[in-house]
Structure 1
Amino acid sequence: MNAPPRIAAPTHAPEAPRLRPDRAEAGALTRLALPIIMARIGLTLMLVADNMIVGHFGAGPLAAFALGLMLVQTSQMLGLGLLMGSAVEMAAAFGRDALDEVGRIWRRALAYALAIGFAGAALSQAAPTIFLALGQEAALAASAGEIAALFGWSLPPVLVYVASIGLLEATGRPYVGVALLIAANLVNLGLGLLLGHGGLGLPALGAFGVTLATLIARITLAGGALAYILLLMPGRQALGRPRWSDHRWADGRRQRRIGYAEGLSLGIESGAFASMTLFAGWAGALQLAAYTISINLNMLMFMVAVGIGGAAAVRVSQARGRGDPAAMARSAATALLLYTGVMLVVGIAFLALPGVFAGFYTGEADLLAVTTPVVAGIGFLSLIDGAQRVVANILRGYGDTWLPTASHLFAYVAVMVPAGYLLALGLALGAGGLILAIALASVLATGLLLARLVQLKNRRS
């Protein structure tokens, strides 16, 4: 009998998975990222439109509007992070074909959204006192406090929408949320112009009217999402009926645990950025208005990073589930290259046409003179600021939850906040100094996260 052929032993260790982009992976990432980007940009566009309308009332109203939104936005970002665990758990349950479990998770998420939302709304009622305690001048604190007190009531509906869009995305219906956002943005823009400038027999309410319009639009958005899920969504009966047992504290432990890390991360970052808004207010209404316009544009571009990062987290997680480290590295590299390519184009546009972008927000010569040079650097800031978000999401796909949070704590609290104070107030660079401080912190955060990504990639070789 012939002996079986001998298999030669490998002469060297298998090659570590390389961070190389892939064209097919780019297509898969784009298909996943587009609805996420559209949904997040749609939510952000409401505030962009609000700032554009209010900006044409003057630097003073825009400064008050920005300060008022700052307090509410910090609560909102914390809520968005805390609800992230609900989205993850709904997707996992849907993957197991457990639609009744998806329904229970969603109903718990609605309860969390309302609790967080009303807590934030209650905090917003104390806004005038908070702003005075934080050293803002009395007139600005009063105007901004009025905006925050009203805008705070939009927190419950917007978080209900976020919880519901998590269900729609998890069950493969992301474009329903996009359609709802298009409708809500049209309501917001129309009512904002009407209530802000007056018309049809209504008085001009200025920034307060624009805020009221956004509150109405967000209520419409939440109502539309609930109506679709409860009345129109195919297979909705499989989600089950509401029961008190849906809200057992122990059953939501994993849902909350995932949300704590993301909530802390977004809360840290949002709170640090709130400090920058306060510094801009201390520098004066003109600098605060210029900073608001610049960071508003950055916030819009940041949604591209949220979309690509979210898609990358899904692709990396799927590859991890298959035990395929090469595919994990390929997804990570492709996401980074895709994001960099998009943002380089955006950066060139900002660098070439800063006055055009600033002009969307204001026609005041003094404000344009301060804002235009700052806007020119927003493209670079958006590239770096968004890059850390993309890498952080990739790391979460690798299963690393708390390192991104720690890097945010260090870069945006320990570095950005003192650097912003020094550059904006100590060196009197104003809004430009604040943008420079954000860029420095983002470079640091991105470097730390990239180093961790390379470490994890090599560990899985």
Structure 2
Amino acid sequence: MQPIRRHRVLAELKQLSALATPIIAAQIATSGMGLVDTLMAGNYNATTLAAVAVGNSIWLPIFLFMRGLMMAIVPSVAHLVGAGKTGLLASTVQQSLWIAVVAGFGALILVRHAEIAFLWLEVTPAVALEASRYLDAFSWSFPAMALYLALSCYCEGRSQTKPGMVFAFAGFLLNIPANYALIYGGWGFPELGAAGCGYATALSAWLMLVCMGLYIALDNGHRSLGILARLSRPQLALIAPLVRLGIPIGISIFVEASIFSVIALLIGRLPTELIAGHQIALNVSAITYMVPLSIGLAMTVRVGQAAGSGDFQQARRAALTGIGLNTLLSSLSAVLLMLFSLQIVSLYSDNSAVLEVAAYLLLFAAAYQLPDALQVAAASSLRGYKDTRVPMLIVLISYWVIALPLGYTLGLTDRITEAMGPAGFWIGLLTGLSTAALLLGWRLQRVFRRYRGHPLRM
């Protein structure tokens, strides 16, 4: 590699790391809120814990779709910043707020009608009642979440990821005392059980929104652009491109996340030790996924800004540098998971049968670190180019046409070999992720050629 290219790559690595680190921290804070909810609900009673768990299975897919929808703001803002059209940022953000209002209140209404889902999941009456109360309370967080996502995605598109980190930790810090006060009735507040957990999350979400709104309204860099100076009327000409860009992202994220929920339901008929071992391995892989996901979000910003400026050489450099970084870190993660699998799963349980299953499944999790990191890097780069429809189809095929049928066949039937249990589903996931990585990489290569005629070599 020539010195000048090495310098550019190192500079890009520095930019990506600076953007991704606060995103990782924000994800840790958000995950921490979920952990606090689980611990405090579990210490209250088993029914409350079950209600929160069932409620989470209802609202999480809806939230993930909404998050994907709002993520269209990141490349849209990044393109405007790259093109030097900062005067158009205010109208873009204000129109995105209308999308957030519709999405937020739509989600609120949807989760308040979860009775059909409870019947389908065969939830016991006591748990269903508590889960309904939890979701009714939690539903008030959706409008705040949607508006917060719109504003935080705007900041990310401008390469400002630290505010989201700070306000995520503010929400986390409020969530702890709010849970205590409203679940247990602490400090004279009403004892609400599962509903209290939902209200605590809603309070945290509204705090995060208020903080983000005040930051954008008072910061000179944002105030000078009139981002929140006024709310313009809905303009279909501005809303439609955001929706067309965001819906495929939302579907992709929903499809990717929902397959894990479906697998959890399918293996529910297996022995307890197998289910517990699967859940431990899945939790570990979710933690390791935070790093490549955060780098991917940073890649969308860097690629989007470069593409917006018309510097497609830099856009490709940002994409390939991020892919290289994800490759390096995921390979390291895979090695650590293989070397210390037993030590890692021992943090979750002291049951020898569960540990044996979890340690074995963690080897599959180690194997899919690389394809998982590559597919999220490629998908994130494509979002930076505003290419989301074909990636959505690739994700649908990889997960629902390949991964799930193969996992079901290997895990629960004798059609190919003796039923493998959870390991069969992990093989299906590994195959699906590898397919997604290859196809998304192929798509990214085509996008490279579309703009420059040949791929960048560094």
Q: If the TM-score is normalised by the length of the shorter chain, which range does it land in?
A: 0.7 to 0.9
Counterpart AA for 2:247 = Y
Structure 1 residue aligned with 2:105, among 107, 115, 118? Answer: 118
- 1:143–1:421 Cα change, 3 Å: farther
Q: Does 1:345 align with 2:332?
A: yes
Taking the TM superposition and a 5 Å limit, the aligned residue runs for 1:243-392 are: 245-281=232-268, 283=270, 291-320=278-307, 327-354=314-341, 357-358=344-345, 371=358, 373-375=360-362, 377-392=364-379
CA RMSD, 1 decimal? 3.8
Q: How does 1:12-411 map to 2 (within 5 A)?
A: 22-51=9-38, 65-95=52-82, 101-134=88-121, 144-192=131-179, 209-232=196-219, 234-236=221-223, 238-239=225-226, 245-281=232-268, 283=270, 291-320=278-307, 327-354=314-341, 357-358=344-345, 371=358, 373-375=360-362, 377-398=364-385, 400-411=387-398
Aligned counterparts of 1:209 and 1:287: Cα–Cα separation in 2? 33
The sequence identity of aligned pairs, in percent, is 28
Is the 2:83–2:309 Cα contact (8 Å) retained in structure 1? no
Aligned to 2:442: 451
Q: Do the aligned residues in 2 keep the contact of 1:93 with 1:102 (CA within 8 Å)?
A: yes
Q: Tell me which amino acid in the other structure corresponds to 2:17.
A: T
Could you tell me how far 1:220 is from its partner in structure 2? Answer: 1.7
Aligned length: 442
Query: Aligned letter for 2:434?
Result: V
Q: Matched residues in 2 for 1:454 and 1:240: separation? A: 36
Question: CA 1:314 to 1:436, structure 2 compared with 1: closer, same or farther past 3 Å?
Answer: same
Q: Distance in 1 between matches of 2:406 and 2:127?
A: 25
Normalising to structure 1: TM-score of the pair?
0.79
CA distance in structure 1 between the partners assigned to 2:207 and 2:411 by the alignment: 39
Is the Cα–Cα contact under 8 Å of residues 107 and 139 in structure 2 kept in the other structure? Answer: yes
Please identify, of 278-287 and 119-128, the stretch whose mean Cα deviation from structure 2 is larger. Answer: 278-287
Offset of 1:407 from its aligned partner? 0.7
Unaligned residue ranges in structure 1 (runs of 5+): 1-17
Residue range with higher mean Cα deviation, 427-436 or 305-314: 427-436
Residues 78, 158 of structure 2: 8 Å contact kept: yes
Larger Rg: 1
Mean CA deviation greater in 379-388 or 250-259: 379-388
Give me the TM-score of the superposition, normalised by structure 2.
0.80
Unmatched runs of 5 consecutive residues or more in structure 2: none
Taking the aligned partners of 1:141 and 1:371, their CA distance within structure 2 comes to 30
Q: Structure 1 residues 55-64 or 412-421, which shifts more?
A: 55-64
Q: 1:112 & 1:148 partners in 2: Cα distance? A: 22
8 Å contact 2:75–2:385 — kept in the other structure? Answer: no
Please give the alpha-carbon distance, in whole angstroms, between the structure 2 residues aligned to 1:85 and 1:303.
20
What is the Cα deviation at residue 266 of structure 1?
Answer: 1.8
Q: Deviations over 1:54-103 (max 9, x none)?
A: 57789987665443212211111111111122233333444556555322
Deviations along 1:118-156, one digit per CA (max 9) or x if unpaired, are 222222223242132245666665565554444333222
Note the alpha carbon deviations across 1:363-397, whole angstroms, 9 max, x for none.
Answer: 77776665454445434444432321111122334
> Whole-Å Cα distance in 1 between the matches of residues 97 and 351 of structure 2?
43
Q: 1:55 to 1:445 in 2, by over 3 A?
A: farther
Preserved contact between residue 287 and residue 370 of structure 1 (Cα < 8 Å): yes
Q: Give, in angstroms, the shift of residue 165 of structure 1.
A: 0.7
CA contact (8 A) 2:407 2:428 kept: yes
With over 3 angstroms needed to count, the CA separation of the structure-2 counterparts of 1:378 and 1:58, relative to structure 1, is farther
1:39–1:178 contact (8 Å) kept in structure 2: yes
Partner of 1:3: none
